[in-house]
């Protein structure tokens, strides 16, 4: 794998899966605070 | 089947249902082919950008319109843009319903291959092209189309909570488990890393090619469910305290995460089991409308998997089970959209369902019998979706983008506040993307797909066929605009 491949992999997976994880955690926190 | 006002029971129930809309067969078979054709990693960068400037802004708009108006596409757009524009909402609803007619046929194909795989007959077939051609050339697709419509109809009959929510609570996690299982198997095959490297290797020359950017925008427009009116329909059943912005982001990122997972699985499998010619097969997109990959090429590869017949049958079966789940969860949302519009127009919900199922079955038969007809409908209404996205953006602009943002998006229940950047995207970027996309696809039709007969309305991939079919439908809805408005708002007044 070239450096370009690894950089693209990190950017794509970081933004898509990282973005999903970030939004999911934020939503969980907000939902919990709404319940309280 | 009651007419009482139902709501999703929780945020997660609603999110799973909306992800069920977005995740369809296109995530699994179209995404991989388009990535392969557009230089692997070079495609992924614009694909991520257009998720942020096309899909998520339109998903936010749909969530907000549905939750604020509590009406389907016709009433929702009329309330937002003004009664004169109810026909635009009707067009949005019709485009998605026209897609439902042939999407049910696709769901039927997936079911047929699932049953063939489970019975063991699929992997013993030597000639997958003949198998596909003899299946689609016969009458069997009508039977499976009927079964798909019946399953979708049953779910809608059970209602929002016991039908839509419960089905998605089971099918979407199951689909994710299936995809993860397939992904683990794929990446542990010898040679799989070459496929993953191809998927993520950028080609700087292609990154500067405008065609790659247009392909990425098209994939987001078709694949995320943004601009279809489906998310608007489910948002009608959102709780009053339901958030919009975070839920829209969850939908967009969730959908593209599934595409990425499916892409890793397919590239790893193709490079491991068909080194050399595999990527050519992916790029060629043999078979009509993406079907070559799923129904001809992948069954061949499952037959080459190490581990013996038992494991081959297992992986082939769960692949088609996943495709079936993806198709069914999207199909039920299309049925619900149509049922909701008919209900808003004054039809009792049960009758609206029967009408939708009858029309859906009858008008899907031509696509079940003829792949040429199927391809024409996919072409006409696939591009029609971009007009739908434009109409939704128009309704927001007509209402006042900033007012819409403050009152509908950032209103009661919002967990995060959407900033003024949203006004710029929905007012300028989304309409610009609509014009560029439609112009681009028509340019392709004139210069590549049908140079001689691009104007001919009876050619499959012509500009003429789009203009004729859109024109007929739009004219009809403009003529009955006043009738629709009277039916919807008179009924609302009576109910309230």
Q: pLDDT tens digit string along B6-40?
A: 999 999 999 999 999 999 998 988 898 889 888 88
pLDDT at residue B80 is higher than 80 = yes
Least confident of B199-203, B286-290, B465-469: B286-290
Instruction: Assess B256–A contact: CB distance below 8 Å, yes or no.
Output: yes
Average pLDDT, chain B: 93
Q: Do A34 and B241 touch (CB under 8 A)?
A: yes
pTM recorded for the entire structure: 0.95
CA distances in angstroms from A21 to B23, B250, B254, listed in the order given:
18, 9, 9
Q: Is the pLDDT of residue A34 over 90?
A: no
Q: CB contact, 8 Å: B200 with chain A?
A: yes
* Higher-confidence position of A36 and B212: B212
Of B85, B75, B94, B83, which is closest to residue B470 (Cα–Cα)?
B94
Q: What is the mean pLDDT of residues B366-378?
A: 94
Quick count: other Cβ atoms within 10 Å of Cβ B202? 22
Does B432 contact A at CB distance below 8 Å? no
Enter the DSSP assignment of B6. Answer: -
User: pLDDT band at B114, cuts 50/70/90?
Assistant: very high
Mean pLDDT along residues A16-20? 95
Identify the band that residue B491 occupies on the pLDDT scale cut at 50, 70 and 90.
low
A12: which chain B residues are within 8 Å (Cβ-Cβ)? 41, 44-45, 48, 200, 260
- Split at pLDDT 50, 70, 90, the class of B495 is low
CA distances from B363 to B33, B145, B358, B455, B470 (A): 29, 11, 8, 25, 17
Q: Which residue has the tokens 């029609």?
A: B384
Digit-coded pLDDT (tens) for B183-207: 999 999 999 999 999 999 988 888 8
Chain centroid offset of residue B11 CA: 22
- Mutation pick from B31, B41, B53, B254 vs chain A, by most beta carbons of A within 10 Å, is B41
> Which residues of chain A does B243 touch, with a Cβ-Cβ cutoff of 8 Å?
27, 30
Which residues contact residue B280 at a Cβ distance below 8 angstroms, ignoring those fewer than 6 apart?
Answer: none
Measured on CA atoms in the order B61, B385, B88, B352, is the torsion positive or negative? negative
pLDDT-derived band at B414, boundaries 50, 70, 90:
very high
> pLDDT class for B218, splitting at 50, 70, 90?
confident
B221 band by pLDDT with thresholds 50, 70 and 90 = confident
* B40 neighbors B197 (Cβ within 8 angstroms): no
Q: Please give the Cα distance from B314 to B270 (Å, whole number).
A: 18
Share of chain B above pLDDT 90, in %: 78
Q: Does the pLDDT at position B253 exceed 60?
A: yes
**Hey, what are B334's tokens?**
């299309």
Confidence of residue B1 (pLDDT cuts 50, 70, 90): low
CA angle, B391 as apex, B390 and B397 as ends, to 5°? 90
The pLDDT of residue B297: 86
Work out the minimum CA distance from B478 to partner chain A, whole angstroms. 41
- Tell me, what's the pLDDT at B293? 81
**Contact present, B164 and B245 (Cβ < 8 Å):** no
The predicted structure's pLDDT at residue B360: 98
A25-34, B85-94, B401-410 — which is least confidently predicted?
A25-34
Across the range B430-452, mean pLDDT stands at 93
Torsion, Cα B360 B361 B363 B365, to 10 degrees, reads: 150
ipTM score: 0.95
pLDDT at B257 over 90: yes
Q: Tell me, what's the pLDDT at B460?
A: 92
Question: Cα–Cα distances in Å, from B18 out to B23, B123, B233, B251, B447?
Answer: 9, 34, 10, 7, 38
List of chain A residues whose C-beta atoms are within 8 Å of the C-beta of residue B250? 20, 23-24, 27
Check: CB of residue B219 under 8 Å from CB of residue B49: no
Radius of gyration of the CA atoms of chain B, in A:
22
Inter-residue contact B41 to B203 (CB < 8 Å): yes
CB-based contact, B257 to chain A, within 8 Å: yes
Q: What is the pLDDT of residue B287?
A: 52
Question: In which band, very low, low, confident or very high, does the pLDDT at A29 lie, cut at 50, 70 and 90?
Answer: very high
Judged by a CB distance cut-off of 8 A, whether residue B212 touches chain A is no
Question: Min CA distance, B13 vs chain A (Å)?
Answer: 13
């Amino acid at each position: 794998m070239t450096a370009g491949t690894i950089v693209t992999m990190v950017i794509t997976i970081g933004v898509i899966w990282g973005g999903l994880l970030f939004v999911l955690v934020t939503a969980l926190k907000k939902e919990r605070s709404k319940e309280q | 089947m009651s007419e009482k006002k139902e709501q999703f029971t929780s945020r997660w129930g609603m999110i799973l249902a909306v992800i069920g809309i977005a995740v369809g067969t296109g995530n699994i078979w179209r995404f991989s082919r388009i990535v392969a054709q557009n230089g692997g990693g070079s495609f992924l960068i614009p694909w991520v950008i257009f998720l942020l400037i096309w899909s998520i802004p339109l998903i936010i708009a749909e969530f907000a319109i549905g939750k604020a108006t509590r009406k389907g596409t016709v009433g929702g757009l009329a309330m937002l843009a003004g009664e004169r524009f109810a026909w635009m909402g009707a067009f949005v609803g019709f485009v998605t319903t026209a897609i439902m007619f042939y999407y049910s046929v696709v769901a039927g194909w997936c079911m047929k291959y699932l049953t063939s795989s489970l019975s063991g007959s699929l992997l013993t077939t030597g000639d997958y092209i003949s198998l596909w051609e003899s299946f689609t050339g016969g009458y069997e697709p009508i039977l499976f189309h009927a079964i798909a419509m019946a399953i979708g109809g049953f779910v809608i009959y059970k209602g929002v909570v016991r039908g839509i929510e419960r089905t998605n609570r089971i099918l979407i996690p199951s689909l994710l488990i299936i995809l993860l299982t397939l992904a683990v198997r794929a990446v542990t095959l010898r040679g799989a890393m070459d496929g993953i490297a191809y998927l993520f290797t950028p080609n700087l020359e292609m990154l500067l090619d405008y065609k790659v950017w247009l392909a990425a925008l098209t994939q987001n427009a078709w694949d995320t469910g943004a601009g279809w009116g489906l998310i608007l329909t489910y948002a009608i059943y959102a709780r009053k305290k339901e958030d919009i912005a975070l839920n829209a982001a969850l939908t967009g990122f969730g959908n593209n995460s599934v595409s990425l997972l499916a892409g890793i699985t397919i590239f790893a499998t193709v490079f491991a089991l068909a080194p050399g010619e595999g990527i050519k097969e992916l790029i060629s997109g043999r078979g009509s409308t993406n079907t070559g990959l799923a129904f001809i090429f992948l069954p061949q590869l499952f037959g080459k998997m190490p581990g013996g017949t038992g494991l081959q049958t297992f992986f082939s079966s769960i692949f088609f089970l996943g495709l079936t789940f993806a198709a069914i969860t999207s199909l039920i949302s299309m049925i619900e959209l149509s049922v909701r519009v008919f209900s808003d127009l004054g039809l009792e919900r049960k009758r609206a369902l029967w009408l939708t199922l009858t029309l859906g079955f009858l008008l899907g038969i031509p696509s079940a019998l003829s792949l040429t007809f199927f391809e024409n409908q996919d072409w006409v209404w696939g591009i029609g979706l971009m007009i739908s996205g434009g109409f939704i953006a128009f309704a927001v602009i007509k209402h006042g983008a900033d007012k819409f943002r403050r009152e509908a998006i950032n209103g009661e229940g919002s967990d995060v506040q959407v900033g003024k950047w949203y006004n710029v995207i929905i007012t300028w970027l989304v309409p610009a993307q609509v014009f560029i996309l439609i112009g681009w696809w028509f340019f392709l039709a004139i210069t590549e797909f049908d140079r001689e007969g691009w104007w001919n309305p009876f050619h499959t991939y012509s500009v003429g066929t789009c203009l004729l079919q859109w024109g007929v439908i739009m004219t009809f809805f403009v003529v009955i605009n006043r009738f629709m408005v009277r039916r919807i708002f008179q009924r609302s007044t009576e109910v309230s």
